[in-house]
Amino acid sequence: MPLVSMRQLLDEAAKGGYGVGAFNVNDMEQIQAIMMAARQTKSPVIVQASRGARAFAEDLYLFKLIQAAAELNPDIPIAMHQDHGNSFETCKSAIALGYTSVMMDGSLKEDGKTPSTFEENVEVTRRVVDYAHERGVTVEGEIGVLGGVEDGHGAGGTGLEHITDPDQAVEFAERTGVDALAIAIGTSHGAYKFNKKPDGSVLKMDVLIAIHNRLPHTHLVMHGSSSVPKELQDIVNEYGGSLKPTWGVPIEEIQLGIRNGVRKVNVDTDNRLAMTGAIRKVLWTQPEKFDPRDYMKPAREAMAKVVSERMTEFGQAGHAGDYTPIPISEMAAGYKSGKLDTRPSVAAH
Ligand SMILES: [Zn+2]
């Protein structure tokens, strides 16, 4: 199956009332782990690469691996997404490679660190939307600023400094025409999201619900949504790691989000922890081992297990066969004719 437009994948998720996990990849084993889980659970899937991942894998290696995944798994719809594009040029280069979706994170300036103004964000996002939609490619924007730093990208902080303002979210959706909107509700990137199980004072699900009520036709995206389960932290620490106690986003909060317009859920840390724990266990308990396959195989299996749990919890499991992919050229025609227009003033009618 050719790579699928992320917009189609999210439209189908909205129809079915489920969320789709977006899992980050840097190498072959991670892509294989996601595809093992997708096959096992019959799930459509979003695979995403950050700028750091693209640099690590020299772009073409990673993209060819995704094409291999699509070829080897003809029954699984796969969208390939640029995570946190920092500029028009980054998004353009992803589209040139064949990515079917890009995130233009205009909430930060091009340095990926400094919060931008609302007008700067609207301007660069609108430019990417025009370019991408002409080519049938999906665009995710971001309004509000997430906490933490990942792969050198992020404003830092706890995530409570720039919570999304629902009025601004509506104006942003109207002026940019994005297909999906990442919002800041107190989550952050990386392992250290919360210093205790989060409640409403730090994880603003009420803000998410308020945004969904104002933008019922916009697909919402939760970033920094690893659950950071204690079992995974324990394995790392049991075999020589030294992670400090930390809490992620509880699955039930993500599920509440999915009942309120969240269609894409970004998960990276949980997979990193699963792989690292499995690798540590082999190296710690069998120090005579030196063939990378001896630890990469269990690492891949550990990640596949987490991904398959998330696919089930988010509700995407069982939905791989629900639809046939719309060719990207047809998506481009749909944007041109206005059929795929999601601006609130249009979509409400
Ligand atoms: Zn993110």
- Average pLDDT of the chain is 95
Distance 189 CA to ligand 1 centre (A): 6
Q: Hey, what amino acid is at 74?
A: P
- Measured CA to CA, the distance from residue 170 to residue 81 in angstroms comes to 24
Q: Which of 158-162, 292-296, 301-305 has the lowest mean pLDDT?
A: 158-162
Catalytic-role residue among 27, 75, 83, 268:
83
Distance 192 CA to ligand 1 centre (A): 14
Distance 315 CA to ligand 1 centre (A): 21
Catalytic annotation present for 83: yes
CB 197 within 8 A of CB 253: no
What mean pLDDT comes out for the span 64-69? 98
Q: What is the pLDDT of residue 158?
A: 74
- Measured CA to CA, the distance from residue 138 to residue 223 in angstroms comes to 17
Question: For 26-40, how does the pLDDT look when each residue is reduced to its tens digit (9 = 90+)?
Answer: 999 999 999 999 999
Distance 125 CA to ligand 1 centre (A): 16
Bridge partners, 247 (sequence order): 194
Distance 113 CA to ligand 1 centre (A): 13
Distant-in-sequence, close-in-space partners of 169: CB < 8 Å, separation ≥ 6: 143, 144, 181, 183, 211, 214, 215
For the chain, give the percent of residues with pLDDT over 70.
Answer: 99
Distance 23 CA to ligand 1 centre (A): 11
CB 2 within 8 A of CB 70: yes
Top-confidence residue, 187 or 293: 293
Q: What is the pLDDT of residue 348?
A: 66
Q: What is the pLDDT of residue 349?
A: 61
Q: What is the pTM of this model?
A: 0.97
Q: What is the pLDDT of residue 147?
A: 79
Q: What is the pLDDT of residue 149?
A: 78
- Measured CA to CA, the distance from residue 176 to residue 212 in angstroms comes to 17
Q: What is the pLDDT of residue 161?
A: 75
Question: For 317-349, how does the pLDDT look when each residue is reduced to its tens digit (9 = 90+)?
Answer: 999 999 999 999 999 999 999 999 999 988 766
Question: For 81-119, how does the pLDDT look when each residue is reduced to its tens digit (9 = 90+)?
Answer: 999 999 999 999 999 999 999 999 999 999 999 999 999
For the chain, give the percent of residues with pLDDT over 90.
Answer: 89
DSSP state of 155: -
pLDDT at 157 over 80: no
